[in-house]
Copies of this chain bind each other. A is one copy, B any other.
Amino acid sequence: MPGAAIVAEYLDELYGPDMDDRRLLPQDTGQRVEVRRLMSWFNDKFFAEVSGPLTLERFYKRHMPTEQGGGAPDTEVIRAARHNIRYHMAYIGWLVRSRDWLAGDRLSYADLAAAAHLSAADYLGDVPWNEDDAAKNWYARVKSRPSFRPLLTESMAGIPASPSYADLDF
């Protein structure tokens, strides 16, 4: 199974041409670079610095045998991820202060990638929502879309979602 960005390219090739202005990877070559750049920013960089460490420490390690690195969460790693997320919130806010959506005038795979990773951190209660109003408003718009609703009903055994997770008016 290839990564999320490769699946996004595949879906765009199959269904994108019929989507007109609802296409999640837009037609224009320059805009496509921006969508891909931001998909990679969130799928790779945000994942490495924030959502990967948080989900590993707070979720996966519970289910891993000790000899494979399982056990209690490493609080230093969690602290670093909580520190790192702050500049990502500022970056999201900076982007959407000059554009309607992360990569431009339309919702794109960049928004879905960012919202997916942010949602994982939000489940764990690790998103500082008061950090940047523009970032919060952007996430509220993504979260309110009908397609996002089923995600908000999901839960992980033994780890209840944070109060903000499923709240559309967080």
Which residues of A approach B to under 8 Å, CB–CB?
2-3, 5-6, 9-10, 13-14, 29, 32-33, 36-37, 40, 44
Contacts and interface: CB of A to CB of B under 8 A. Distances in A.
Contacts of A33: 2, 6, 9-10
A19 to B, nearest CB: 16
Contacts of A44: 44
Contacts of A37: 2, 6
A37 B14 CA distance: 17
Contacts of A14: 29
Nearest to A3: B40
Contacts of A6: 33, 36-37, 40
